Amino acid sequence: MSVFLECKKIKRTGFIPTFLSGGLLAAAIPVLNMAVRSENYVGLSDTPLQILLDANWQMMAMLNVLLIVAGACLMYHTEYADNAIQKMRTLPLKESQMFFGKVILLSAMFVVVLVIEATSLAFCSFHWFEVYNDFWLETGKTLGYSLLLTLPSVILSMLISSACKNMWVSLGIGVVCVFTATMVPVKNFILSIFPFAMPFQIFGGTDAERTLQFIYVALIEIVVIGIAELLFIKVRRSFE
Amino acid sequence: MNIIETNNLTKTYADFTAVSGINLHIPKGTVYGFLGPNGAGKSTTMKMFLGLTQPTNGSFTIDGKKYPQNRVDILKEIGSFIEAPAFYGNLSGEENLEIVRKILGLPKSSVTEALELVGLTQHKKRLAKKYSLGMKQRLGLASALIGRPPILMLDEPTNGLDPVGIHEIRTLIRSLPEKFDCTVLVSSHLLSEIELMADNIGILNHGHLIFEGMLDILKQNIAAQGYPTDNLEDTFLALIDADNKQRGVVR
């Protein structure tokens, strides 16, 4: 029910158009890249998907995370702008339910963005490369992995937004985190486990053991950040 | 029978005590006027009842349920309006109430009923952020009244309303215990306003409860102490002034 309510709350906020246009913008990157310099890529020996991701994913991932930060800010801005959150807190509804409802909705919108991006990657593969059997399986694995590795940044963005009454503060923190993450070397495991840096990882080309390590870390981060939010809700009530 | 009871309820912020060990007794099915100057601790007390802020000390029970163990159960019984109207500006008045309705699990007709009760039916499709202050106040009241909760907590509900609106809302509040069989806790800093609505009153000053009981008893006490009783405003001011002097507080 919380997710349903959150869907109602985002009406007229521009949340859905933002995600759709953001998804289209990210999806345009590989298409434009291939359109202007396909000769640099078509001769490479990797699978088409791997070539496309190596060439474009860093930029696409950065747009994705920025979209997540903006989405989280927007969702909590509707709560704080006219003090609606106070009304919600006086209703028989746990604040944590509202938080996780927003996390689920934001994750669902991110899935929509991933689907738009997958369509674009499929178009590029079919248009500039030869079609091969395992394309859809490889795409599914890659985007599933990206989704899982992006969830910690979804929940952390939401935690930051829930903590800041002023949307510009949470947006500023989020943007600083995203740009810090872009400076993290993708091959450095310790630095790459920063929640905002995880979405920059690519499934293909990473050995199985490292892939598993990233999956475990993502799951741990989701749980830890979720618990941190629960504690934060409790502690904040004592200081208000 | 008291529906709300507090026991030495206290709220302290760093070195400032907003509410100091108050013992309230709010009888069921009455309008209880919570009176005090600005900053007396009225809103803080109501916020504690609603779980918006945690008491530093003391405890309270609402309809026999203890806080914090039964927080959600307590909230199921309370309709509230605290300090200022709280709403989603991007949604219409009707959509705002629809969200509250869904959370409370009420029938669809309750939205229409609440809108009618506060006179907002005509403007239900308009975005809440485009409402005038009085309309926002009415929307806040509608979201408190929706579903006819057994307990209503209204913090200065007539703020921002025009004289006609004030009269309407006062009449509505006065009629609620009989109409909906509910208990109303209404705060104000105007004794004259509370007199028109409340059966019992509690007067707060600097976080201390300086009087609790029926208005007639207050008038008798005040007269016995030699303060004026002809004009309620003067009575209230004299009472607060005397308490301030006793505590050595300068306003």
Mean pLDDT by 10 residues, chain A (240 residues): 90 95 96 93 89 94 96 96 93 93 97 96 90 84 94 97 95 95 87 93 86 95 97 85
Q: Residue B249: its pLDDT value, please?
A: 61
Q: Residue B231: its pLDDT value, please?
A: 72
Range of the domain at A40: 2-239
Tokens of B172: 């509505």
Tokens of A201: 């990882």
Q: Residue B250: its pLDDT value, please?
A: 53
User: CA A148, A152, A153 angle in degrees (round to 5)?
Assistant: 110
pLDDT (tens digit, 9 = 90+) per residue, B12-21? 988 889 999 9
The answer, for A87 touching chain B at a CB cutoff of 8 Å, is yes
Tokens of B131: 């409402």
Nearest by CB to residue A89, choosing from B52, B102, B128, is B52
At residue B241 the predicted structure's pLDDT band, cuts being 50, 70 and 90, is confident
The answer, for B151 touching chain A at a CB cutoff of 8 Å, is no
At residue B222 the predicted structure's pLDDT band, cuts being 50, 70 and 90, is confident
Q: Residue B39: its pLDDT value, please?
A: 87
- ipTM score of the complex? 0.88
Nearest by CB to residue A5, choosing from B54, B84, B102, is B102
Q: Residue B23: its pLDDT value, please?
A: 94
CB atoms within 10 A of CB B10: 18
Mean pLDDT computed over every residue of chain B: 89
The answer, for B52 touching chain A at a CB cutoff of 8 Å, is yes
CB contacts < 8 Å between A and B, how many?
Answer: 82
Q: How many domains does chain A have?
A: 1
Q: Residue A168: its pLDDT value, please?
A: 96
CA A185 to chain centroid:
19
Q: What is the b/e burial string over B61-79, where b = at least 16 CB atoms within 10 angstroms of the residue's CB?
A: bbbebebeebbeebbbbbb
pTM for the complete prediction? 0.90
pLDDT (tens digit, 9 = 90+) per residue, B175-206? 888 888 899 999 988 888 888 888 899 999 99
Q: Residue A112: its pLDDT value, please?
A: 97
How large is the average pLDDT for residues B204-209? 91
Residue spans per domain, chain B = 1-26+55-72, 218-251
Q: Residue B75: its pLDDT value, please?
A: 93
The answer, for A94 touching chain B at a CB cutoff of 8 Å, is yes
How long a stretch of residues is chain B? 251
Q: Where are the beta strands (DSSP E) in chain B?
A: 2-13, 16-22, 25-27, 31-35, 57-62, 65-66, 78-81, 151-155, 183-188, 200-205, 208-214
Closest CA to B36 of B245, B225, B230, B211: B211
CB atoms within 10 A of CB A102: 26
Chain B residues close to A233, C-beta within 8 Å: none
At residue B237 the predicted structure's pLDDT band, cuts being 50, 70 and 90, is confident
pLDDT (tens digit, 9 = 90+) per residue, A42-51? 888 888 999 9
Chain A residues close to B82, C-beta within 8 Å: 86, 90
Q: Are A193 and A213 in contact (CB under 8 A)?
A: no
